[in-house]
Structure 1
Amino acid sequence: MLRFSNFLFPESRDPDRDAEVIADCIAEAKLCDELGVEVLWLAEHHFDGNCAYVDPVTFAAAVLTATKRIKVGFAVAQVSLHHPTRLAEQMALLDNIGKGRVIVGLGRGTAYNVYEYQGYGIPWEEAGSLYEEAEGIMLKAWTSPEGFTHEGKHWTLKVPRLRPTSFTRPHPYVIRAASSEEGALHLAKRGLPFLMNVQSNETTAKRMALYKAAMEQAGFDAAHVARCLDESWVWRNVVVAPTDEEARRIGVPAFEAMQEHRRRLREKIYAEQGIIMKKEEVPPARTDPGHALISGSPETVAEKMAEIEATGVGGVICSFRLGPMPADVAAGSIRLFMEEVAPRFAAGAVSAAAE
């Protein structure tokens, strides 16, 4: 059974409209809760308007109090920008506010936007090692009732027992991002599920097969492997409308404007700073609407989702509001998806259709 979620990743190009877009986000969260979306994923990006609410930790508290049943996940918290003890405290508090509805998605931080590190006074070259050390500290903080000490490359800590204790035991649910095949296989050897970026179905199928084989080779049993596959997610851009033509009319310009805006922003920063953290070689599966955008009628989108289901991944992170797309258009797309696409993948739907 394929599972569905929404990536709430709102663009705000005009600083004077930030408050309006943030209010739209709360409304979208409430709509998703009402319609039965399983998870609302939050992003983290700073200073550029690519993510209007900026701070997903603070915003998650607002979403959790505004909703009743939807889970709130991080896709991802940029761990290298946070002090790990503080982040562990904040996640434990959110876990209590939501009574276990938090998914702590962890990643090192952006590989492209150097100003995010500069704004926090953090060397971007150390983002990877900061992340690795911070993850271990957070897990210790959640699971050490007597407190602990830590001496590492970046932090020397003497941490008493963390308060509040998390609602979920032994700690909030944690998932890691893996944007590369190497990253996915690293998590497979640890027997952990993962979050994937936008990619082709061919890439997803290949990655899932390698991931499954690596877990089996590492000695994990069939039940554990199946659980990790079910708990892994892949990101797709999605627009649903009554007809294929209308969905393309709505979706393609919004998607292209979003990609062009991000490309120009990165080129501007490269030109100003002369710093390229990572050469951007983005495949068409992420930038070409013919590959990177699922748009169409409910029937067409359901067919595309069935193709994703066939790759073996357990869930799809659907990004519905793309670039400058108006909030009401995104809301209509979400409603159509949840009312006419998602039910086709519910437990019992396949067997019922076969009878």
Structure 2
Amino acid sequence: MPVTVVRFNLVAPGAAPDALSARYRAAVEMACYADAHGIATVRTEEHHGAENDWLPSPLVFAGAVLGATRRIAVTVSAVIGPLHDPLRLAEDIAVLDLLSGGRLVTVAGIGYRPEEYAMFGVDRVRRGRIQDEPLETLPAAWAGEEFDYRGRRVRLTPRPYTRPHPPLPAGGSSKAAARRAARFGLPFFPSAHLQEPAAYDEERLAEYGTGGWTMMPAAGTPLLHLTEDPDRAWAEYGGRLLHEARTYASWQPDGIRSAVRSAATTVAELRAEGVYRILTPEQRLARGLDSLVLHPPAGGMPLEEGRRGLRLFAERVVSALGG
């Protein structure tokens, strides 16, 4: 059965504070609905200083979702490790792991936007070396024993629920990211279906003799919106999807590979490209995708449109697949 995911980035270009608040609260309500209807995962991510209000605090959002649900997992893909204090990050994840009974997956990424590093006063050129510290610190902190940290002895309490520690895949799209995952014995989570870094990860695992494996995403992972009338939805909301797609693409320099990167410059190109897909439930069932990523309410589309799409996804796709 395909993996079922509901993705939230809370984009809302130009939204007033009351509308943005309603969008955040609605996202938690949608996550509760997804939890009650057999959807496997809520996915969210971290970006800072975006003009369209892209979610900057995924662990806070994850806490709201985990506290309101009972079964569904939350994947943060990814936390930008170099922008966080490692000990505080370890504490926050430990508390969320305890709160949820082990339903949080935190992908450790390094990001790529210069603006985000400048905002937090972190040297972007050194981000790979800086990332080594949280990847080493978090598992050590979660072990419950004293350990050396920046020249002093520290111990984190409480220990997380999950043993030996909460899931901490290392994200990325390069050989350097794969090597880092292997060196620390962590699962490697490529940002797209990439055979070369995955094979390199396997080679380095053998070299270092560490644990770990590759969590390869599905080859086709389009962002979905479901409706009874795709032509209407493209006409009404295609511009919103294009804005989101172009914003995301503008952040990604050459060499950054992502499953959701779009090259479209018009709504017609976006529709033909297939990174974003608006389908009927029956069209979705006929496509045979390995991973189903619903994206409500994408691009800042109206909340009720997002809710309708989620209901169609749960009641006519997930249920038909045996979820």
User: 1:75, 1:106 within 8 Å by CA — same for their partners in 2?
Assistant: yes
Q: TM-score, normalised by structure 1?
A: 0.74
Segments of structure 1 that go 5 or more residues without pairing to the other structure are 151-155, 198-203, 267-276, 310-314, 348-355
Deviation at 1:196, TM superposition (A): 2.7
Paired position in structure 2 for 1:41 = 43
Could you say which residue in structure 1 is the equivalent of 2:267?
A: none
Q: Equivalent residue for 1:339?
A: 315
Q: Deviations over 1:201-244 (max 9, x none)?
A: xxx4xx3598479749966xxxx99x855x74675311111244
What CA RMSD, in Å, does the superposition of the two structures yield over aligned residues?
A: 3.5
Query: 2:138 is paired with a residue of what secondary structure?
Result: helix
Matched, 1:161 2:155: yes
Length-normalised TM-score, structure 2: 0.80
For residues 158 and 80 of structure 2, what CA distance do their matches in structure 1 show?
22
Distance 1:187 1:346 in 2: 34
1:281 positional shift: 7.9
Over the matched positions of the two proteins, sequence identity in percent amounts to 22
The answer to which of 288-297 and 16-25 deviates more is 16-25
Residue deviations 1:47-88 (CA, integer Å, cap 9, x gap) = 224455421122222221122221112111111110111101
| 1:167-191 deviation per Cα after TM superposition (whole angstroms, max 9, x unaligned) | 0111111223233577468758967
The one-letter code sitting in structure 2 at the alignment partner of 1:176 is A
Secondary structure in 2 matching 1:331? helix
- Given that 1:22 and 1:53 are in contact with CA atoms closer than 8 Å, whether structure 2 keeps it comes out as no
| Match among 294, 300, 305 for residue 329 of structure 1 | 305
- The whole-number CA distance in structure 1 between the counterparts of 2:203 and 2:236 is 43
Partner of 1:127: 127
| Runs of at least 5 residues in structure 2 that lack an aligned partner in the other structure | 265-269
C-alpha distance in structure 2 between counterparts of 1:31 and 1:72, whole Å: 14
Shift of residue 91, structure 1, vs aligned partner: 0.2
**Equivalences for residues 1-355 of structure 1 within 5 A:** 1-14=1-14, 16-17=16-17, 18-109=20-111, 111-112=112-113, 114-143=114-143, 145-150=144-149, 156-180=150-174, 183=177, 192-197=187-192, 204=193, 207=194, 211=198, 215=202, 232=217, 235-250=221-236, 252-261=238-247, 278-279=253-254, 286-288=262-264, 289=270, 290-291=272-273, 292-304=275-287, 306=288, 308-309=289-290, 315-346=291-322
CA separation in 2, counterparts of 1:339 and 1:180?
A: 39
Q: Is the 8 A contact 1:184 1:211 kept in 2?
A: yes
Q: Is the 8 A contact 1:26 1:63 kept in 2?
A: yes
Alpha-carbon distance in structure 2 between the residues aligned to 1:79 and 1:89: 14
Distance (Å, rounded) in 2 between the aligned partners of 1:26 and 1:56: 13
**Once the 2 structures are TM-superposed, how far is the Cα of residue 24 of structure 1 from its aligned partner?**
2.5
Residues 127, 303 of structure 1: alpha-carbon distance in 2 compared, 3 angstrom cutoff? farther
Q: Distance in 1 between matches of 2:320 and 2:203?
A: 31
Change in Cα spacing, 1:15 to 1:46, as seen in structure 2 (3 Å) is: farther
Alpha carbons of structure 1 residues 217 and 92: separation in structure 2 relative to 1, 3 Å: closer
Query: How many Å apart are 1:338 and its aligned residue?
Result: 2.1
Mark the CA change 1:148 to 1:8 in structure 2 (over 3 Å): closer, same or farther.
Answer: same
DSSP 3-state at the match of 2:301: coil
Give per-residue Cα distances to partners, 1:135-171, cap 9 Å, x unaligned: 111111112x321114xxxxx2434321110001111
1:279 deviation in Å?
Answer: 4.7
- Which whole-Å CA distance do the structure 2 matches of 1:191 and 1:59 have between them? 25
Aligned residues: 308
C-alpha distance in structure 2 between counterparts of 1:249 and 1:130, whole Å: 45
Cα deviation 1:317-350 (Å, max 9, x = unaligned):
4433221211111121122122222344448xxx
Of the structure 1 ranges 55-64 and 82-91, higher mean CA displacement relative to structure 2 is found in 55-64
Is the 1:255–1:323 contact (alpha carbons within 8 Å) kept by the matching residues of 2? Answer: yes
CA displacement 1:268-291 (0-9 Å, x = unmatched): xxxxxxxxx945888996243222
Q: Which residue of 2 aligns with 1:273?
A: none
Give, in whole Å, the separation in 1 of the partners of 2:248 and 2:86: 29
CA contact (8 A) 2:181 2:201 kept: no
Contact 2:228 2:280 in 1 (8 A): yes
Distance 1:180 1:299 in 2: 37
